[in-house]
Amino acid sequence: MIKLAIYGKGGIGKSTCTSNLSAALASLGKKVIQIGCDPKADSTINLLGGDPVMPVMDYMREYDEEPDSIDKISKTGFGGVLCIETGGPTPGLGCAGRGIITTFSLLEQLELFEKVKPDAVLYDVLGDVVCGGFAAPIREGYAEQVLIVTSGEKMALYAANNIYTAVRNFEDRSYAKVRGVIMNRRNVEDEEQKVRSFADKAGIGIIADIPRSADIIKYEDMGMTCVEGDPECDAAKQFIALAKTLIDEDEKNG
Amino acid sequence: MKNTAKIIPCYSADTSGVCSALYELSGLTVVHDASGCNSTYSTHDEPRWYDMRSNIYISALTEIDAVMGNDEKFISDVSAAAFDRKPEFIAICGSPMPMMTGFDYDNAANEIQSRTGIATFPVYTNGTRSYIDGAADSFVNVLKLFTKPLEKVKNRVNITGLTPLDLPLGSDRLIRKWLAENDLECVCTLAMGSTLEDVKKMSSASATVVMSYSGLAAAEYLYKEYAIPYVCGVPVGDFSDILIKAVKKAAETGECIRSPFERNEDRGTVIIGESIMSLSIASAIGGADIISPLPCDEDMLGINDSTVYSEEDIEAVLGEKKPSVVVADPLYKYIIPESTRLVEIPHFAFSGRCFQKNMKDMITTGLGEYFK
């Protein structure tokens, strides 16, 4: 099974990349679960035609009890991707990281993986690995590989390096390992060189090169991924190629 | 804010369940919590504390360690204590603080085991669940670690789910006597009055008697792994005869009897408490409805029974049923209807030591002492 956690600086395009990758994996016949791990709960919205799923934390807040079935906290989106959002506490209150752990425990209790039997699970995680909760997706039993989304912008690369360092700090634990970088271009000067310099220094590869594309914005405005909107556009082709790479690797690893 | 108790106390928490379940098994139990909390788990909730030594440790988590996620301090302190105490196993469990910081119990257990060479397991407590959950998980972990297939011996019986949180001190001796009087030999009373050596022999039994819901998961494990059938029930009063017949039948047929309870329709009496004990008392007195404020198997309960956790829900059920008699811990007297008679049976997991001196032997002398 492909188990990925996608990290990166806030606003860098993690949800866009994750949703497109989920859509690409689904279009290649894979059963995919995407779990948004961000209090904003907007990770899966473009897989759902702009009609969001009720986040787990919202469910608990509204009903004051845990949901007793997966249906209550999930929705099926493009290509059959099962969409789940952890959500979070009321902004300014509580602990968002803890919300992720609570959601994961709940999904385990509801036997999500046993019942859905996915081929791929993608965790779209808010920003940096800032605390225990935001490291939960890379713990044993969850993601096995981390993809870091970055552009050539200085602060995006800074965040990417922080994420890389944080994951490396856990290398003596059975946590996920960094698989590579998704270069999400912002058309910065010498962008490729800057991202490659970071990746080389860290000893990781650039696994996908996503062009700055009006198609992505156009289809997001329509509540969909560009893989759904136009699988032949350049950006979609990159996501589909990345999906193929990951599938091949997974099959090779048995 | 469900489950808020304004008048009655709450039941002992999951962490106390772990400490109680493992108290006599020669392990090292470490609760990841602030210093000073040991008394909560090991004195207020543990009557054996005064007479029997046990390795129950608190990690003395500080605010700054919690904020910084200083797992290394916990791992190295537990490892040092283990080198010093040389326990048979190490159990680590937690409180609300590590829950909030997302402490990784699996990783800590792996690390401690690799440093000490001593089998280490996590119990995922957070101080918000009941003692039943903590004890149940602990029993299963111990069985997984220490039992291996053995040849079955006829007439040998296991007891599971026995801790002072549910049954008075000394109950293990009375249960052994009750079994012996019925030509059955007790292998292990998990986990009051037995040692880890006894636990290792549990796979040789031909049946298991589950004395509280905290012992059901352990019994299910023994059934799944070693085909040892189980029967739920506590041998109280006249129910003892029904239970012993069920135990012998299960041993003979190899089939579990989850609910050997026999109750008449009786809308006049309500029992509030741990489900297996309550069902046993209900069977012993001829019939009663149950209110279970603790985790239980709802399939064991009848149509007139209720699983409710909050004080106001319990009050609502009592208001609806209008029983003439309520059988419950003495501290329930503050929420039962005024005209209702309360038969007080102290429950250590609910009122602690407050009424310990009033706890009576229900196993050999029946329930007359409580009901007179």
Tens-binned pLDDT, residue by residue, of chain B (372 aa) = 566 788 999 999 999 999 999 999 999 999 999 877 777 787 788 999 889 999 999 999 888 888 888 899 999 999 999 999 999 999 999 999 898 888 999 999 999 999 999 999 999 999 999 999 999 999 999 999 999 999 999 999 999 999 999 999 999 999 999 999 999 999 999 999 999 999 999 999 999 999 999 999 999 999 999 999 999 999 999 899 999 999 999 999 999 999 999 988 777 999 999 999 999 999 999 899 999 999 999 899 999 999 999 999 999 999 999 999 999 999 999 999 988 999 999 999 999 999 999 898 888 677 877 887
- Per-residue model confidence (pLDDT) at position B2: 64
Give the contacts of B357 (CB within 8 A, at least 6 positions apart): none
- Which helix H or strand E contains B280, and what residues bound it? helix B275-284
- Per-residue model confidence (pLDDT) at position B3: 67
In a domain, B5, yes or no: no
B chain contacts of residue A64, beta-carbon cutoff 8 Å = 1-2
- Per-residue model confidence (pLDDT) at position B364: 65
Give the closest-approach CA distance of B247 to chain A in angstroms: 32
What residue in A sits closest to B2 (Cα-Cα)?
A: A64
In a domain, A125, yes or no: yes
Predicted model pTM: 0.86
**Any idea what the CATH number is for the domain that residue A230 is in?**
3.40.50.300
**How many residues can be counted in chain B?**
372
Size of interface A-B (CB pairs under 8 A): 32
Provide the domain limits for residue B205: 148-253
**Any idea what the CATH number is for the domain that residue B76 is in?**
3.40.50.1980
- Per-residue model confidence (pLDDT) at position B1: 58
- Per-residue model confidence (pLDDT) at position B62: 86
A chain contacts of residue B298, beta-carbon cutoff 8 Å = none
Q: Smallest Cβ distance to A132: which of B1, B103, B110?
A: B103
In a domain, A129, yes or no: yes
Whether the CB of B107 is below 8 Å from some CB of chain A: the reply is yes
Contact between chains at A173 and B104 (C-beta distance less than 8 A): yes
- Give the residue-averaged pLDDT of A235-240: 97
Q: Which two tokens stand for residue B197?
A: 């050596």
Contact between chains at B106 and A140 (C-beta distance less than 8 A): yes
A chain contacts of residue B100, beta-carbon cutoff 8 Å = 95, 98
In a domain, A222, yes or no: yes
Q: How far apart, in whole angstroms, are the C-alpha atoms of residue A45 and residue A85?
A: 10
Provide the domain limits for residue A210: 2-248
Q: Which two tokens stand for residue A10?
A: 């806030």
In a domain, B173, yes or no: yes
In a domain, B212, yes or no: yes
- Per-residue model confidence (pLDDT) at position B264: 83
Contact between chains at A64 and B2 (C-beta distance less than 8 A): yes
Q: Smallest Cβ distance to B100: which of A95, A135, A136?
A: A95
In a domain, A66, yes or no: yes
Mean pLDDT for all residues in chain A: 93
**B281 and B222, same domain (yes or no):** no
Q: Which of B253, B286, B312 delimits the end of a domain?
A: B253
Structural domains counted in chain A: 1
**B59 and B178, same domain (yes or no):** no
Q: Which of B193, B225, B253 delimits the end of a domain?
A: B253
Q: Which of A138, A140, A196 is nearest to A167 (CA)?
A: A138
- What are the pLDDT digits (tens) for A63-87? 888 999 999 999 999 999 999 999 9
In a domain, A39, yes or no: yes
Structural domains counted in chain B: 3
Give the closest-approach CA distance of A219 to chain B in angstroms: 37
In a domain, A253, yes or no: no
Contact between chains at A139 and B101 (C-beta distance less than 8 A): no
- Give the residue-averaged pLDDT of A158-175: 89
- Per-residue model confidence (pLDDT) at position A174: 83
In a domain, B3, yes or no: no
DSSP letter string, A147-204: EEEE-SSHHHHHHHHHHHHHHHHTTTTT--EEEEEEEE----TTHHHHHHHHHHHHT-
Whether the CB of B4 is below 8 Å from some CB of chain A: the reply is no
Catalytic residues of A: 9, 14, 40, 128
**B39 and B130, same domain (yes or no):** yes
B34-41 contacts at long range (C-beta below 8 A, 24 or more positions apart):
B34/B58, B34/B60, B34/B61, B34/B62, B34/B95, B34/B97, B35/B60, B35/B61, B37/B95, B40/B15, B40/B16, B41/B15, B41/B16
In a domain, A254, yes or no: no
Contact between chains at A95 and B69 (C-beta distance less than 8 A): no
Q: Which two tokens stand for residue B68?
A: 């910084």
A chain contacts of residue B128, beta-carbon cutoff 8 Å = none
Which site among B3, B71, B107 would you substitute to test the A interface, given the most A Cβ atoms closer than 10 Å to its Cβ?
B107
- Give the residue-averaged pLDDT of A28-46: 95
In a domain, B48, yes or no: yes
**Any idea what the CATH number is for the domain that residue B361 is in?**
3.40.50
**B275 and B216, same domain (yes or no):** no
Q: Which of B95, B119, B145 delimits the end of a domain?
A: B145
The distance in angstroms from the start CA to the end CA of chain B is 39
**B71 and B176, same domain (yes or no):** no
B chain contacts of residue A131, beta-carbon cutoff 8 Å = 69, 101-102
Contact between chains at B2 and A65 (C-beta distance less than 8 A): yes
CA B225 vs CA A204, B94, B159, B220, B221: distances in Å: 45, 28, 16, 8, 6
In a domain, B258, yes or no: no
When comparing pLDDT for B70 and A27, which is higher?
A: A27
In a domain, B264, yes or no: no
- Per-residue model confidence (pLDDT) at position A81: 98
- Per-residue model confidence (pLDDT) at position B122: 97
Give the closest-approach CA distance of A250 to chain B in angstroms: 25
- Per-residue model confidence (pLDDT) at position B5: 84
Contact between chains at B99 and A98 (C-beta distance less than 8 A): yes
3-state secondary structure of B91: strand
- What are the pLDDT digits (tens) for A201-228? 999 999 999 999 999 999 999 999 999 9
Contact between chains at B104 and A64 (C-beta distance less than 8 A): no
In a domain, A196, yes or no: yes
